Structure 1
Amino acid sequence: MGTAALLAVTSPPCFLSSAKSRRLISTTLLPLLPSSCLTHGKDESRITKVRSNVNSVSTETKSDNEASMTGAAYDFKGATISLTGEILSSPKKVTIVRHGLSSWNEESRVQGSSNLSVLTEKGVKQAERCRDALINMNFDVCFSSPISRAKSTAEVIWCGREKPLCYLNSLEEAHLFFLEGMKNADAKKQYPELYTTWREDPSNFHVNGIYPIRELWGTAREAWKEILLTPGESFLVVTHKSILRALICTALGLGPERFRAIDVNNGGICVFTFNKRGEAMLQALNMTAHMYSDHVYQY
């Protein structure tokens, strides 16, 4: 037949749920046969055999006490690491929002863990857009950093909901010592070597032997454990960019040297799902459609 084109059965893998098993319908590749071959007996036999294979269904059984699937993956053990070290009561979905524009964002100052940077008028509007975009989403708990700009964002988004709003110290931003509050341009002039390390090699940025970004990885793991071991299945998290980067990287098994490989805008939304082993699947990164339209999310 020579080199034959391949036709994929377009129906995606789907799952048939029963009390004791889930059945996975496999996607099968069919060879596209030239029309001239269709009259030959051997090729007709081959087509019949291929069609017969397409109709076959492979089944795999997974007991109820094993970790369940996450998202569209039946099982992805080893794709990421467990963030809990123990089996969860159910799979989880976690939506993470970066706080709205702050006064120090606007003034191009180094923020860090300072509580002096507050949500601007534009930041409040961004938080309102997040609230409206997530209006159809049901969350069991909202977790927020207690630092002002994140706390204010969470309060706007959570307004009108009756379920708990909890503040976690493990969601606070990285502590950047005496750089906090300085304009970036001034910090670069006064502390050129230190500032350059912070911008270009943040995992090796340190003050008096303390490495803030490396410590942030430990803080992020602590935050994940607190969140994922909370009863419920869907959580909202409101926090800051640096710790958000650490949350994403730790969930995906990336080290602090990957800190600047990820960026999230003010009001940007990220979504993770977790299987019962506490392993993560990143479903959405930095969604911002709601910042430019009246988009409402449903996932």
Structure 2
Amino acid sequence: MTTVYMVRHGETDWNGAHRMQGRSDIPLNERGREQASCAAKALADVPFDVIYTSPLSRAEKTAEIIRGKRNIPLIEEKGFMEIDLGKWDGHTPDEMDALYPGQYDFWRSSPGDVHIDGGETFRQVQERAWKAFMAMVHREEGKTVLLVSHMGCLSTILFKIAGYPLNDLWKHPIGNCALCRVEAGAEGSMHIAEWGRDDYIPGRLKMKVPFGRVKD
């Protein structure tokens, strides 16, 4: 059995402002570092053999905080990067409405059908993330692995295992530093044991509006 603990990175200022966040390398903010510390405490007794992370700094720093002083190898893998949002990257929902009318609402209602100018589709994200995930599982067979990545990337992997349509992506959100756990059998079976668990993060560190438009 190979066990993969999957953790989304901690909060960034762009998360807090509800900006579209893809490949732009935005660092953790103070809340994000606190969230990562909470995850570190929750996972302190898990005997990780290896840690994989997206090379973006918000994921890498989260992985480093969870690792702490433990002597665990940390491997960067480009296949676990967030979706490339092209020209959308960095815009708020209101800015999206002004620049690309109707596209943000389409992104929220039918993410699996969205084609971003200069970016990726979620189908493309799923294909390269799944390839990287399966390569990791085969390489680390029988081990306990920590994977730190992004909501879009992690969600597509989980949706592949669960057989869910990508248009339902936002119906199963993963909060900042929330935990998912997948158990992979030697015969190729996959079981999702946990999805979006964040009970170890206090309410004061959770976003009141976890995803979407900020309403006054």
TM range (shorter): 0.7 to 0.9
Deviation at 1:260, TM superposition (A): 2.2
Q: Distance in 2 between matches of 1:211 and 1:201?
A: 15
Contact 1:104 1:118 in 2 (8 A): no
What's 2:212 paired with?
none
Aligned with 2:175 (options 265, 282, 287): 265
Q: Distance in 2 between matches of 1:208 and 1:266?
A: 27
Q: Distance in 2 between matches of 1:205 and 1:248?
A: 19
Counterparts in 2 of 1:201 and 1:277: CA distance versus 1, 3 Å: same
Q: Does 1:140 align with 2:49?
A: yes
What's 1:250 paired with?
160
Aligned with 2:19 (options 101, 106, 109): 109
More helix by share: 2
What's 2:112 paired with?
203
Q: Distance in 2 between matches of 1:224 and 1:270?
A: 14
AA partner of residue 280 (structure 1): M
Unaligned runs of 5+ in 1: 1-90, 294-299
What's 2:36 paired with?
127
Cα deviation code 1:150-201 (max 9, x no counterpart): 1111111112111210011011000111110112221122212222221211
- Report matched runs for 1:116-265 at 5 Å: 117-208=26-117, 211-231=120-140, 232-265=142-175
Q: Secondary structure at the match of 1:238?
A: strand
Unaligned runs of 5+ in 2: 204-216
Counterparts in 2 of 1:209 and 1:134: CA distance versus 1, 3 Å: closer
AA partner of residue 119 (structure 1): L
**Whose Rg is larger?**
1
Contact 1:251 1:279 in 2 (8 A): no
Q: Secondary structure at the match of 2:51?
A: strand
Q: Secondary structure at the match of 1:182?
A: coil
What's 1:5 paired with?
none
Cα deviation code 1:234-267 (max 9, x no counterpart): 1001011101110111122333233223111101
What's 1:291 paired with?
201
AA partner of residue 105 (structure 1): N
Contact 1:228 1:278 in 2 (8 A): no
Q: Provide TM-score, normalisation by structure 1.
A: 0.64
Deviation at 1:210, TM superposition (A): 6.4
Q: Distance in 2 between matches of 1:278 and 1:192?
A: 44
Q: Provide TM-score, normalisation by structure 2.
A: 0.88
Q: Between Structure 1 and Structure 2, how many residues are aligned?
A: 202
Cα deviation code 1:247-298 (max 9, x no counterpart): 11112233323322311110100111111122211111111111029xxxxx
- Report matched runs for 1:17-166 at 5 Å: 91-115=1-25, 117-166=26-75
Contact 2:54 2:149 in 1 (8 A): yes
The answer to which structure, 1 or 2, has the higher relative contact order (CA under 8 A, 6+ apart) is 2
